[in-house]
Structure 1
Amino acid sequence: MSQNEKRLAGEAALRYVEKGAVIGVGTGSTVAFFIDALASMKNDIQGAVSSSEQSTRQLKSHGIDVLDLNAVGPLDIYIDGADECDPHKRLIKGGGAALTREKIIASASKTFVCIMDSSKQVDVLGTFPLPVEVIPMARSHVAREISAMGGHPVWRDGVVTDNGNWILDVHGWRIVDPVGTENKLNQIVGVVTCGLFAARPADIVLVGDRVLG
């Protein structure tokens, strides 16, 4: 069921893609279905801004031009998945370690469409460990600061982000104030960004081919 919902969500996202647009494209298994579906429209769009090397490779394999965000300016739409989504369309992202580029593209886009399967729906964020991207030399410092906030950070050993940084996954949180938690984490020196997409949540959430809310 999960794989079918992911495929349906990826295909349903095409309805939001306008001709002549530059599309922001995220990362992950559901986005992979979207990229495959987007190939059918490759001659109708200018290209895509990609959030990861993984998505870049898949886009290029379909003959879709991958563009630099600095060269194209604001985007009309960004399509990406999520690891968790609450009823207010606030998200946890970063299971694929692409959270910083994903957050940049989401911030630069007028509309953020989140595509996912129903297993990602939660009442309160935090069951999925919250990824935090950190500068390598600050790993222990950031971990101590997060521990003081009541979280249990675990270094994702062996993982290096496309930006050359490391990931701490924070366990044991029930995030009842996602915006406040996001702001606090972003103020810790050494944090690049965190995987809470709450200050800038999704605008539209597709669960399979169904629009949430």
Structure 2
Amino acid sequence: MTQDDLKALVGRAVLDHIPDGAVVGVGTGSTVNQFIDALATRKDRIAGAVSSSEASTARLRSHGIRVLETQDVASIPVYIDGADEIDPRGHMIKGGGAALTREKIVADLAERFICICDESKRVAVLGAFPLPVEVVPLAVPRLIRRFAALGGQASVRPGVTTDNGQCVLDVRGLTITDPLALEAEISLWPGVLTVGIFARHRASLCLLGTPGGVVTLDFA
């Protein structure tokens, strides 16, 4: 099976975890695109979706799925999104698609975060994938120095402006053994809008696409 086949597999499998009549939180990325296409086959069984990016919003609406704003809901039962890496405790690195801030906002509304990804995203320790950090451009030089003090090499992702009008730093060379602590520390640095460590908002469940089928990882 190709990587696209595995993404489609988990995109369909996660439909079984969505309650009838629910408003669904929808993430961003290629795996989520497969989920959105699958969700369209059951759009009459949900109340709508809260989207984490303009790209996902456009795809949802193209299928005739109602998109609600965050102010329209106090909470949602489930948020579905992919990951760039996921560790054995459900901590993730996210932001390869530059939607990390809105993804974390929608995840914060959800009772459960269900991660959908292929088996290549499963790691023992986070950090091989460059850590995305959405930042205010004014702070870039200072933040590059702060990451260097942690042993990381940060650089601005070229040609990328987020849906929030900011830039993204990609930080290489980190080995993230305590995701919760590092997420908390970086989040306090002036100029950081969002760090792409999802430890506080870790996955409750992961549906992992493998050549042998979907493997369910439960982190509850």
Shorter-chain TM range is over 0.9
Alpha-carbon separation, structure 2, partners of 1:200 and 1:55:
20
TM-score relative to the length of structure 2 = 0.95
2-side partners of 1:48 and 1:144: how far apart?
A: 40
SS in 1 for 2:125: coil
Which runs of 5 or more structure 1 residues have no equivalent in the other structure?
none
1:126 alignment partner, SS class: coil
Name the residue aligned to 2:51.
50
Tell me the SS of whatever aligns to 1:43.
helix
1:30 aligns with 2:31: yes
Residue 18 in structure 1 maps to residue 19 in structure 2: yes
2:101 counterpart of 1:89: no
Alignment of 1:151 onto 2:147? no
Question: 2:182 matched to which residue of 1?
Answer: 181
- 1:44 CA drift (Å): 1.2
**How many angstroms does 1:145 deviate by?**
1.4
> What does 1:38-187 correspond to in 2, within 5 Å?
38-187=39-188
Question: Quick one: distance in 2 between partners of 1:137 and 1:157?
Answer: 16
- Give the Cα separation in 1 of the matches to 2:117 and 2:77: 20
The one-letter amino acid paired with 1:124 is V
Instruction: State the partner residue of 2:216.
Output: 211
Mapped to 2, the partners of 1:47 and 1:93 lie a distance apart of: 24
Alpha-carbon offset, residue 18 of structure 1 = 1.1
Q: Secondary structure at the match of 1:122?
A: coil
Letter in 2 for 1:152: Q
Q: Where do 5+ consecutive residues of structure 2 fail to align?
A: none
Query: Which letter does structure 2 place at the counterpart of 1:117?
Result: D
Structure 2: distance between partners of 1:73 and 1:147 = 39
Shift of 1:200: 1.9
Instruction: Measure, in 2, the Cα distance between the counterparts of 1:106 and 1:72.
Output: 13
Cα separation, 1, equivalents of 2:133 and 2:32? 21
Letter of the structure 2 residue corresponding to residue 75 of structure 1: I
- 1:91 maps to a residue whose letter is M
Q: Tell me the CA shift for residue 63 of structure 1.
A: 0.2
Structure 1 distance, partners of 2:127, 2:160, is 21
* Identity fraction in percent: 53
2-structure distance, mates of 1:70, 1:142: 32
SS of the residue corresponding to residue 37 of structure 1 reads helix
Q: Matched residues in 2 for 1:164 and 1:149: separation? A: 27
Amino acid aligned to 1:210: V
Task: Please give the TM-score of this superposition, normalised by the length of structure 1.
Answer: 0.98
Q: 1:74 Cα shift?
A: 0.6
What whole-Å deviation, never above 9, does each CA across 1:123-174 have from its counterpart, x for those lacking one? 0000000000001211112211111222110110210000001000000011
State the aligned residue count: 213
Over residues 164-193 of structure 1, what are the superposed CA-to-partner deviations in whole Å (9 max), with x where a residue is unaligned? 010000000111111111111101000001
Give 1:5 deviation, angstroms.
1.2
Residue type of the partner of 2:88?
P
